[in-house]
């Protein structure tokens, strides 16, 4: 199973075809365990995005007994946060992987504040919607 390693014809490394190239074309190989952890962080963002979208849909699908316009606003904020989370999750995965390859500081939690603020707004909207 190690024939490649002793084959003199394969002296050079196989060409790196991993994508996106702006990530894998830069720097050197980080510890693969860190790359895998970065992948799982991306997946956590995917599930967060799905949860936010599902919460927005649920407000209308279950016809939560709140003021209709406030309820619609809350649902749209939740779905917008979900769409922002999936886009940012993908960008963040790539930027983090690139930073690890270059050995520089990792990018910060760019949209953490936006998610917190958005969910707070949703909570307030639904609360007022109940009392209206």
Nearer to other proteins, 69 or 116 (CB): 69
- We find the least distance from the C-beta atom of residue 95 to other proteins, in angstroms, to be 13
* Residue listed under structure tokens 């016809």: 63
Nearer to other proteins, 1 or 131 (CB): 1
| Three-point CA angle 106, 107, 110, nearest 5° | 150
- We find the least distance from the C-beta atom of residue 75 to other proteins, in angstroms, to be 5
Residues that bind other proteins (CB under 8 A): 1-2, 5, 16, 18-20, 23-24, 29, 32-33, 35-37, 39-40, 42-44, 46-47, 49-50, 53-54, 56-57, 59-61, 63, 68-69, 71-72, 75-76, 79-80, 82-83, 86-87, 89-90, 93
- We find the least distance from the C-beta atom of residue 129 to other proteins, in angstroms, to be 12
Measured between alpha carbons, how far is 58 from 49 in angstroms, rounded to an integer?
14
Evaluated on CA atoms 97, 99, 86, 55, the torsion sign reads positive
DSSP 14-72: PP---S-HHHHTSS-PPPHHHHHHHHHHHHHHHHHHHHHHHHHHHHHHTT-SS-HHHHH
Nearer to other proteins, 101 or 106 (CB): 101
- We find the least distance from the C-beta atom of residue 121 to other proteins, in angstroms, to be 16
């Amino acid at each position: 199973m190690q024939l490649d390693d002793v084959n003199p014809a394969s002296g050079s490394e196989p060409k790196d075809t991993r994508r996106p190239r702006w990530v894998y074309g830069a720097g050197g190989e980080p510890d693969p365990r860190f790359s895998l952890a970065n992948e799982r962080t991306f997946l956590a963002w995917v599930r967060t995005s799905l949860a936010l979208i599902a919460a927005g849909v649920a407000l209308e699908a279950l016809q939560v007994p709140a003021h209709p316009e406030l309820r619609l606003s809350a649902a749209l904020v939740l779905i917008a946060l979900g769409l922002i989370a999936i886009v940012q999750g993908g960008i963040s995965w790539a930027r983090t992987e690139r930073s690890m390859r270059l050995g520089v500081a990792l990018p910060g939690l760019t949209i953490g504040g936006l998610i917190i603020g958005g969910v707070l707004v949703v909570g307030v909207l639904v609360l007022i919607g109940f009392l209206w």
